[in-house]
Amino acid sequence: MSEIIEGFIQAVELIISLNPEVLEITARSLLISLAATLCASLISIPIGGFIHFRKFGGKRGLITIIQTLYALPTVIAGLFVFLLLSRVGPFGFLGLLFTPSGMIVGQTVLIIPLMVGMTLIALSGVKQSIQDEVVSLGATTTQTVMTIIREARFAILGGVILGFGRAISEVGAAMIIGGNIRGYTRVLTTAIALETSMGNIAFSIALGIILLGIAMVVTVALFLVQER
């Protein structure tokens, strides 16, 4: 028990003293996950819009698949992207395996289904009467889509924040694609896994507190957005 308490005290010291390694890992985690969230947003919101506004066969089935993939295990997303980026894979020539860019790709793939799904929910939350009003006001199809997306912007932003939360907290894809290389691809989650296995409890707890802190900021942001 005393070990844990000691670990906590050391952890707080590491954070307050702005330990360079802790800071570096935190910064890298934020950077990679924010980049992945940005990429996933740019892909997911248009896809969500397309699925919502178009009528096509198999739409219901496609939505069910997307919803199933909300729970896509992070190691499977990691494995999938690993195979794509590995030397013998179709994108091996890009040399992205074991790089931060590769990790961004992995996390992007991981959170796309969640963000497409959240976009769909956000758009179907806009009442039909609003869409009728917009069309009636003389909007072209593109103007209608843009106006409805703007109308759903807070709900869509909620999905984006949720996606970021999933990206920064995942360990499987980061480990498989990044390889947890110190000073290069080591992020909060992979560092916690490694340091704990090496018995470096205080360091793990420090990183854990930071990760929880980020999770809390995300939750508060989500709450504030949904209040709108």
Partner 1 sequence: MIELVHVDKRFGENDVLKDLTFRVEKGEIFTLIGPSGAGKTTILRLINLLDDPTTGMILIDGKDTRVSEGERVALRRMMSFVFQKPAALRGNVFQNVSLGLKFRGIPPGEIRQRVTEALGLVGLEDYEEREATTLSGGELQRVAIARALVSRPEILLLDEPTANLDPGSIERIENLISSLNTRFRTTIILSTHDMVQGQRLATRIAVILDRKIRQVGDSRQIFYQPGSREVARMVGVENIFDGTVTANEDGLASITIGSTTIFATCHYPAGTAVTAFIRPEELLLLGGDGMKSSARNTLRGIISRVTPVGPNIRIQVDAGISLVAIITRRSYDDLALSPGAPVHTSFKANAIHVMTRAP
Q: Does 130 sit near partner 1 (CB under 8 A)?
A: yes
Place of tokens 């917009």: 134
Nearest approach, Cβ of residue 125 and partner 1 (Å): 12
Q: Is-contact 157 101, C-beta < 8 A? A: no
The angle subtended at Cα 158 by Cα 121 and Cα 154, nearest 5°, is 85
Task: Extract the tokens encoding 140.
Answer: 């072209």
Q: Does 182 sit near partner 1 (CB under 8 A)?
A: no
Answer for which of 150, 184, 220, 223 binds partner 1 (CB under 8 A) is 150
Instruction: Report how far residue 204's alpha carbon sits from residue 28's, in angstroms, rounded to the nearest whole number.
Output: 16
Instruction: Report how far residue 220's alpha carbon sits from residue 171's, in angstroms, rounded to the nearest whole number.
Output: 23
Answer for which of 94, 139, 209, 225 binds partner 1 (CB under 8 A) is 139
Task: Give the residue with the Cβ less far from partner 1, 119 or 185.
Answer: 119
Answer for which of 129, 183, 197, 199 binds partner 1 (CB under 8 A) is 129
Task: Extract the tokens encoding 152.
Answer: 């759903």
Task: Give the residue with the Cβ less far from partner 1, 143 or 219.
Answer: 143
Binding site for partner 1 (CB under 8 A): 127, 129-130, 132-141, 143, 147, 150-151, 153
